[in-house]
Amino acid sequence: MVQTLGLKITHLTSSQENKEDDHNNGLDALDSARTALLSIDVAGGAGDVELEDAELQADTPGEIQYAFIEFTGALTGNRTITVPDRSNWWRFHNNTTGDFTLTVQTALGSGVEIQQGNWASLRTDGTDVINLLEDLLGGIVDVEIKTTTYDIKTIESFKSFTNEGATGNPATRPFNLPAAEAGLRYFFINHASADMRVVAATGDTIRIAATESASAGNIQSNAVGDTVQLIAINATEWFAIAVNGTWSFDV
């Protein structure tokens, strides 16, 4: 039978009986697929989960036809979601737990990692998976408020962190960076009357302009409104690529 290329909807034929029933059932299934939320449990260790690529049947859309898909479950390893290598688009929600990554990609093309707790608008161009909103807006980030010591995770790359509501000595409630890994990026916003401190991992340094911290050193702000964006350029160095206000640090 002839099907549409993207959603695999079966065409009607001149010899087909009960055309109106098949047509209406197809419309109902298509409406459900493009407006309802599908939740898929992807719990488990490292491996691949291939979305069901079945044709659109009456009242039973295949997984790949849904526009909104949520992934749940506890991850014990990095997971890959494989989508077909033909043109389509989705809104995916990474609602998993566990300190591991979730990446959407085609069988042979490049993919996009979705941070935990985030939604991502993705499309395929027939080969690769592309993040629509990041391409359009230069990245969408979440904001986390932390008032006690917090160990930042690699899967939280591109998040913003603020100390709103924090009190007391910042040395007792630092933001601890993960071990540097090229491409990791975090944003820090001092939004409290108390200071804000960001600490590098053992063996790593933080550089602002020409000045570099000691190994496992820190940078600190003591004014509301100070901000800094840090990006890891390799396995040991964090660079400030956007600085507002005054950030002091141990050298």
Going across the sheet that includes 102-105, the strands are 47-50, 79-82, 102-105, 111-113
Within the chain, where are the H helices?
19-35, 132-137
> 231 and 181: one domain?
yes
Q: Which of 197, 149, 150, 202 is nearest to 180 (CA)?
A: 202
Is 182 inside any structural domain? yes
> 156 and 188: one domain?
yes
Is 8 inside any structural domain? no
Q: Which of 108, 137, 166 is the last residue of a domain?
A: 137
> 122 and 217: one domain?
no
> 128 and 169: one domain?
no
pLDDT digits (tens, 9 = 90+) for 194-220: 899 999 999 999 999 889 999 999 999
Q: Which of 112, 137, 162 is the last residue of a domain?
A: 137
Q: How confident is the model at residue 137 (pLDDT cuts 50, 70, 90)?
A: very low
What integer best gives the mean pLDDT of the chain?
85
> 61 and 153: one domain?
no
Amino acid 21: pLDDT: 67
Q: Radius of gyration (Cα) for the chain, nearest Å? A: 23
Q: State the Cα–Cα distance between residues 205 and 227, nearest whole angstrom.
A: 18
> 53 and 108: one domain?
yes
Percentages helix, strand, coil for the chain (3-state, rounded to 5) are 15, 40, 50
Q: Which of 122, 137, 152 is the last residue of a domain?
A: 137
pLDDT digits (tens, 9 = 90+) for 75-92: 999 999 999 888 888 889
Is 105 inside any structural domain? yes
Read off the pTM. Answer: 0.52
Q: How confident is the model at residue 224 (pLDDT cuts 50, 70, 90)?
A: very high
Q: How confident is the model at residue 186 (pLDDT cuts 50, 70, 90)?
A: very high
> What is the extent of the structural domain holding 85?
19-137
> 103 and 178: one domain?
no
Is 42 inside any structural domain? yes
Q: How many domains does the chain have?
A: 2
Q: Which of 185, 188, 147, 144 is nearest to 169 (CA)?
A: 147
Q: Decide if 181 contacts 153 (C-beta within 8 A).
A: no
Is 209 inside any structural domain? yes
